[in-house]
Amino acid sequence: MSVLDRGPREQIQVLDEAGELVGDPPSLSDDELVAIYREMKLARHFDARAVSLQRQGRMGTYPPMSGQEAAQVGSAFALDEADWLFPSYREHAATHVHGVPLERTLLYWMGHESGNRMPDEANVFTIAVPIATQIPHATGAAWAATLRGDRHAFLCYFGDGATSEGDFHEGLNFAGVFDTPTVFFCNNNQWAISVPRERQTASETIAQKAEAYGFDGVQVDGMDPLAVYRVTREAVAKARDPDADESRPTLVEAVQYRFGAHTTADDPSVYRSQEEVEEWRGKDPIPRLETYLRETGRLDDERVDAIQASIEEEVSAAVDTAEGERRPHPEEMFSQVFADLPDRLREQLEDLERLRDRYGDERFLKE
């Protein structure tokens, strides 16, 4: 029985909070399971380093992702190389799994426009900071692929707050009507900045919203990487199948939690309690998977230590590469939005240029 047949009100789980099997595991080799574990550990370490860089003034505002590694890594592993991934602004782990180097993500948050250019060999759309705008983009790209006769899946990530936007309705409604090969993946991390999930919708689940659009919705434990992989893999396979008996889009609601702030400009202690955070930390996806892999003989102390050492080396190299790039000039913020600058922006650009002329490059960039 497909997990997609279980309905949108039953949460799918393979590993419980203690790392014990409570459901049917997906078909993954030992190497693939360890690779998922390594990517999750890598994401957690990268996240800590990125927050540290921001606090030291070496990077701009950054959106932490700790706690959400299982949802990102498990779902991205379910894609084939030719499938497309449409991120929001927090999918650092998912984009890395699908071919985006860590240094490219760092450059983006350091203000380099080059960080917004995805590698040619990676089927990853550009980062979307505006809420939900990537949903119509993913639906449109999927529809274009259908018209061309391509058989690729399009995985689109967004948060629970995005489900309150018009773009969510428009994208999913179009996908249902035109049967596009799209997997809509909601990272329900309980908080849209300071707005709790219960203020987003009166629906029992977000997954059940798919019923209104005429396709499957499924809720999964988003802190269980094996359950996320299994659900997403089945949704992706259905999306690619033009002869599917049922509508090909799927809405996946991955229930999870962000341990840290919404961004480094946010103070989550204002709107949520430490007791709530600690309760969710008991569901931490990394020790959960590590316990399972140790108990099944796939991991031991020596291998865990080797993985950690290689992760630290990889992240350090990415930081060195990103910081070795020339710092972007402030004027560059005007160069990538309009072909012809509006008057108000042209005036601001001219003000910057006068300041540069007055103080010189070194003092201007420093201050």
Selected catalytic residue, list 90, 96, 152, 262: 262
Selected catalytic residue, list 271, 281, 346, 363: 271
Cβ atoms within 10 A of the Cβ of 302, count? 8
Known catalytic residue: 157? no
Calculated CA dihedral for residues 54, 72, 236, 180, nearest 10 degrees: -40
CB-count burial class (<10 Å; 0-12, 13-18, 19+) for 355 = middle
Known catalytic residue: 262? yes
Known catalytic residue: 45? no
The dihedrals phi and psi of 216, each to the nearest 5 degrees, come to: -75, 140
Selected catalytic residue, list 104, 240, 258, 288: 258
Kindly list the distances between the CA atom of residue 82 and the CA atoms of 75, 98, 152, 252, 340, in Å, as whole numbers in the listed order. Answer: 15, 10, 7, 21, 35
* Residue keyed to tokens 């360890």: 34
Closest to 78 in 3D by CA, of 136, 137, 36, 23: 36
196: DSSP letter: E
Compute the distance between CA of residue 318 and CA of residue 308 in angstroms, rounded to an integer.
15
> Would you name the residues annotated as active-site residues?
258, 262, 271
